[in-house]
Structure 1
Amino acid sequence: MSDATVDPTQEIRMQVMWNRLISVVEEQALTLLRTAFSTSVREAGDLSAGVFDPQGRMLAQAVTGTPGHVNTMAEAVLNFMAEIPCDEMYPGDTYVTNDPWLGTGHLHDITMVSPSFKGEELVGFFACTAHVVDVGGRGFGADGKSVYEEGIQIPIMKFAEKGEVNRDLIRILRANIREPNQVIGDFYSLAACNDVGHRRLIEMMDEIGLANLDTLGDFIFTRTRTAMLERIAALPEGAWSNELTVDGYDEPVHLVATLKTRGKTVNVDFTGSDPVSRWGINVPIIYTKAYACYAMKCVIAPDIPNNWASLEPFTVSSPVNILNAQRPAPVSLRHVFGHMVPDLVLGALALALPGMILAEGSGALWNIHISARPLPGGEGRNAEILMFNSGGMGARPELDGLSATAFPSGVMTMPIEATEQTGPVVIWRKELRPDSAGDGQYRGGLGQVIEIEAAAGHQFDFSAMFDRIENAPRGREGGQNGTPGSVTLDDGTKMRPKGWQHVPAGRRLMLKLPGGGGYGDPSRRSNEARSIDVIRGYVTEDGQ
């Protein structure tokens, strides 16, 4: 559909229908939020939801959701279509996988895709993803040496056919996971989420008089593509490289990105990054691509809707390395370095667009998976508990960084009350960490201090998934680095930043999350801003 074929009235009508389509996927996502069993979905919003055309191209996504889920889902639907032919799709079907290379990068994320039929015609697909609390195996952690140790793998298959749930799959799941009620409940929530999206779409099409989504899809993609190409054309031409060193598992990991603008596309290449690790910190390229595209879009076109046409101009390439790990590499903690990819790519963009890019932040979520159990001979319950925690964002060119904010993932922190309800733990402290932000004309965001203990009569093991302990977030344009994080017990015992470890009964785990880097020369920060920092407790008198 070109501009010449659309009169103003038709253009307004199409825009209204586009907004209606977005409301459909918003209700789809809210259904998942309201019915999910896991706190990672219900409280943190670690999910995605979207609607796709019959060719598997994403038309619209829900605002609720993480870039890692949304942008991998945008590619994953095509993988489902390659595995299940259209002539084997029926109304009432729902398909599922947690394959890291075909879905969202690790086994803990469940992706479901449902075809949407209007009568006998396939008019599109609904897809959604969510992080579940357990998939068996070693549990959520970096200790596995291959993906086969990390949990049960579900190939692309039918969760339901013509409305009938695959009971054999349910039985296999129940026999292989530690929290079957939570996880299977989330499977049904995912399926219900797509079903609600389908029903609302058909209601919308009947109301408006649409036989299919072809004309609306053409309008969405044409407008989006035109706007994207205008933004890309305004970029300087050239190639810029950035390097980033992060903690890794038992030795530092070196990441490299080269950003190149070429005509109507922008490419990021990760040649030069370290080889595949023997630990579960590797990243499948589908997840690397998701966050690389997100970083580019944040700078180049943050206001343009995210769909197939807005993602198409961005390409990603890499030899086999830690950011392009091949099966059967362990990938359980793919989010740690996947969340570092935006800082890596933004560092290259800062060379192309000086004065426009925020400083580095804590990047990866400080996820912690707790496996709690009663003391030997005691009474109590076993529980698998997942917490998402965030350090500080980097300062921006004209604003201080946001404190305790999950950038780039965008997930929320579970309330401690909800966490304590899921298992026998006590969160004694969860507060901002003074003096953790990098100084600058604009101050970085603060990290947090979190203090966790097993409830009386219990002990726990935990899987550490932390970074930025040995390598602090860097400031930009003269701003100072943020303060690195630390992991200890309350008696000062130093714990490792990654891997499964034990916390004895009566001891408390102390997490100090990193602060974001500062932006600009600290001497240019106003006296008023510094005074406010002290009054609010962000900076102590000694930390000035």
Structure 2
Amino acid sequence: MSTDDQGHEGSNVWEDFQKGYVPEDDLDIHPSLDLHEEYTKDIDTVTYEVLRHRLWTVNEEHGQTLENVSGSPVAYFGQDFNPTLMTHDGEVVFNGPYVQLFSPIAELQVKWILENRSDNPGIEPGDVFISNDPWVGSTHQPDVFFVAPIFVDGELFCWIANTLHQYDIGGQSAGSFVPSADDVFDESTPIPPIKAVENGEVRKDVKQMYQRHSRMPDMVGLDFNAQVAGLQVTQEQIDELIDEYGAQTVKGVMDRIIEDSETKFLEKLRELPDGTWRAREYMEGSKTGDDDLYVAELQLEKDGDTLTFRNKGSAENEGSMNLTYAGFRTAISCVVNPMLLYDQLWVTSGAYRHIDINTDPGTLNRAEYPSGVSCGGTLSIELSIALIYDVMTRMLSASDETREDIITDPLAGLIVLSQAGMDQWGNPFGTMNLDVMGTGFGARTDKDGIDVGGILFSPKGPLPNIENNEQDYPMLYLYRRESQDSAGHGEYRGGGGMDSCFIPHNTEAIQTVVAGNGGVTPNTRGIAAYPGAPIRSRTVDDSDILEQFENQEIPDDIEEVNGDMETYPPKAEFVQGALDVMETRSPGTAGYGDPLERDPEKVLEDVKEEIISEEVATDIYGVVFDADDGEQTVNEQATENRREEIIETRLAESTIPAEE
């Protein structure tokens, strides 16, 4: 604790900025701020259910306002945002059904504001705070939070917030992903919470300062307006609920929603044995030009009613690959929510009452200031999610009651393309290519994953149509398709990823920043199965694509294009010229169970659908086919022999560890 010049004891601001804000159990709030803490406990079931659904609907309409007002493709295609409703002290009542990374971090923003802004400049009705500081609470700087208090009779009743990924808010690379950063000073400037709206009026000085950082100030200005509008609409609706039902009843429903979430979480935990589970993944390069591997370790201990996460053995924070405490904390919700709270979806605050995070400062997933973190929201956080899935699936496997809840790691890696230049009309453009949404969906214990099923922690995030991308940006697609042999092989296979191939159109070049991980080592392991295929980005430079067009040919594989092939590392920056053909591959996800246990008829179906190749069917699944009048069928005896052969090879190549 530190004492400011008014004698108030608040959090040590500079220590928060250095190591990351970790709130204590008792928030140190200035006594001049009155909190609305009273609520009704005895609420009848009908009133509770009506109000619970009303609050959910209010929060969902908050998200729809963001989508409708913002002009950003990140909002209306990727739906890379989330609205949040919280209690007076920052516990999350409802997340929105959008990107789940954001809402648990909003809790940290609120708690930090309470401790550090309650005296100077104060927290008043009509205020909105803006922040994107990863050491306060953000996955990375492009994820910008707008946070507003709601008062009742002079007392702070609750908080509402929204987070939206802004395309460009500064830094040395267009799009604000800076994989070449040595530290945060090469990136967008982190903004601790400041008042962007005061007494209901937008502060022009703050908005202009904010837009001044961006290469696309008009787009950022629209997003600013959208986020303020979302808060205004939501506040009006919360005020109406309070007028109709009374503040204590509404507050009582909020409290019960969180308590129900906590109860369900504890019921699941008590079905599991105590124990410790471990996982290891790798970050590929700390920055552009670095081809080293950096280890990320995770230990999950279950002890009674508590889950404890540690990261002993993780590499030190270097370059741009890093994630702050806030990012790691919110990654946990992306796994806890679908695995342990699917019947209380979007309410993870009850679970956080029983989660301890004891990670080591100065590591790649607990970065200290001034480490580079602009790629954390797309690299390190996904790596952390993969680690958490790894340990969680193993923990759930330890109980018959919870094994059926397993979804294999749904994120084998992530490849983000930030693109900028002059569009087909001669105007500056910038965008985040959202083909990234075309990833596979993990396998279950009794069914296959979903090919190009999307990102599990972004349930409403759609894949933009090719026509929309071609209309809005200077690009022409050659193909976009499911990627063969990308699904993790198993008794139940994972979901396959997607290949996307395009050229610049009516422009001389496109500046491209690749920010990815999972290209050399897949970030998913599965359960006794194969991982999904890794990400990949490659180009054929100075190609003959125009000659092929003139011959009325459109290649359906980049291998059919002549020119200089170059495959890029997961972190790269380059210029795609007018004749350069680019292909990206989104990852597949892991399988479940031994592929030799897979029904041969399902393998045949996958071959016919071109999900897997015949070579993979024979070499990995051990299924042999006959051609009967041109129709493939399973040769049952040859399949049995082939599977026995694979088992014998496994045994011959296996070794027994020496006794210590």
TM-score normalised per structure 2: 0.77
- Match of 1:466, SS state, is strand
Specify which of 99, 106, 110 is matched with residue 73 of structure 1.
106
Aligned residue number for residue 235 of structure 1: 272
Greater shift in the superposed pair: 72-81 or 388-397? 388-397
Identify if the C-alpha distance between structure 1 residues 359 and 246 changes in structure 2 by more than 3 Å, giving closer, same or farther: farther
CA contact (8 A) 2:282 2:523 kept: no
Aligned residue number for residue 293 of structure 1: 333
- For 1:79, the aligned partner's letter is W
- Match of 1:85, SS state, is helix
CA contact (8 A) 2:412 2:531 kept: no
Distance (Å, rounded) in 2 between the aligned partners of 1:295 and 1:26: 21
Specify which of 582, 585, 595 is matched with residue 512 of structure 1.
585
- For 1:438, the aligned partner's letter is G
Aligned residue number for residue 402 of structure 1: 450
Q: Deviations over 1:230-272 (max 9, x none)?
A: 2222221121212123423421121111111123211111111
CA contact (8 A) 2:415 2:586 kept: yes
2:262 counterpart of 1:225: yes
TM-score normalised per structure 1: 0.92
Distance (Å, rounded) in 1 between the aligned partners of 2:529 and 2:212: 53
Greater shift in the superposed pair: 247-256 or 323-332? 247-256
CA contact (8 A) 1:366 1:391 kept: no
Aligned residue number for residue 38 of structure 1: 72
CA contact (8 A) 1:53 1:213 kept: no
CA contact (8 A) 1:372 1:382 kept: yes
- Match of 1:192, SS state, is helix
Specify which of 342, 356, 369 is matched with residue 327 of structure 1.
369
Q: Deviations over 1:35-61 (max 9, x none)?
A: 112111121111111111222222222
Distance (Å, rounded) in 2 between the aligned partners of 1:30 and 1:66: 13
CA contact (8 A) 1:239 1:261 kept: yes
Alpha-carbon deviation of 1:152?
3.3
Q: Deviations over 1:180-232 (max 9, x none)?
A: 01011101100110111111111122222445743223322333323322222
Distance (Å, rounded) in 1 between the aligned partners of 2:395 and 2:200: 52
- Match of 1:102, SS state, is helix
Distance (Å, rounded) in 2 between the aligned partners of 1:159 and 1:252: 41
Identify if the C-alpha distance between structure 1 residues 495 and 199 changes in structure 2 by more than 3 Å, giving closer, same or farther: same
Q: Deviations over 1:307-339 (max 9, x none)?
A: 422322122221120000011110011021211
Identify if the C-alpha distance between structure 1 residues 379 and 210 changes in structure 2 by more than 3 Å, giving closer, same or farther: closer
- For 2:70, the aligned partner's letter is A
Map 1:368-387; keep pairs closer than 5 Å: 368-373=417-422, 380-387=426-433
2:296 counterpart of 1:255: yes
Distance (Å, rounded) in 2 between the aligned partners of 1:239 and 1:343: 17
- Match of 2:517, SS state, is coil
Structure whose alpha-carbon radius of gyration is higher: 2
Alpha-carbon deviation of 1:509?
1.2
Identify if the C-alpha distance between structure 1 residues 440 and 66 changes in structure 2 by more than 3 Å, giving closer, same or farther: same
CA contact (8 A) 1:432 1:447 kept: yes
Distance (Å, rounded) in 1 between the aligned partners of 2:150 and 2:595: 56
Alpha-carbon deviation of 1:78?
1.1
- Match of 2:103, SS state, is helix
Distance (Å, rounded) in 2 between the aligned partners of 1:457 and 1:179: 19
- For 1:471, the aligned partner's letter is T
Aligned residue number for residue 654 of structure 2: none
- Match of 1:438, SS state, is coil
- For 2:92, the aligned partner's letter is M
Greater shift in the superposed pair: 157-166 or 352-361? 352-361
Distance (Å, rounded) in 1 between the aligned partners of 2:457 and 2:54: 28
- For 1:423, the aligned partner's letter is Y
Specify which of 221, 227, 235 is matched with residue 198 of structure 1.
235
Distance (Å, rounded) in 2 between the aligned partners of 1:138 and 1:82: 33
Aligned residue number for residue 264 of structure 1: 305
Aligned residue number for residue 424 of structure 1: 474
Greater shift in the superposed pair: 82-91 or 429-438? 82-91
Map 1:341-490; keep pairs closer than 5 Å: 341-354=384-397, 355-356=403-404, 357-373=406-422, 380-388=426-434, 389=436, 390-404=438-452, 405-410=454-459, 411-490=461-540
CA contact (8 A) 2:145 2:161 kept: yes
CA contact (8 A) 2:420 2:428 kept: yes
2:181 counterpart of 1:141: no
Distance (Å, rounded) in 2 between the aligned partners of 1:180 and 1:253: 36
Distance (Å, rounded) in 2 between the aligned partners of 1:74 and 1:427: 41
2:141 counterpart of 1:107: yes
Root-mean-square deviation (Å): 2.4
CA contact (8 A) 1:304 1:310 kept: no
CA contact (8 A) 1:40 1:414 kept: no
Specify which of 9, 15, 32 is matched with residue 49 of structure 2.
15
Gaps of 5+ in 2: 1-36, 398-402, 541-562, 618-660
Distance (Å, rounded) in 2 between the aligned partners of 1:40 and 1:379: 21
Gaps of 5+ in 1: none
Distance (Å, rounded) in 2 between the aligned partners of 1:146 and 1:428: 38
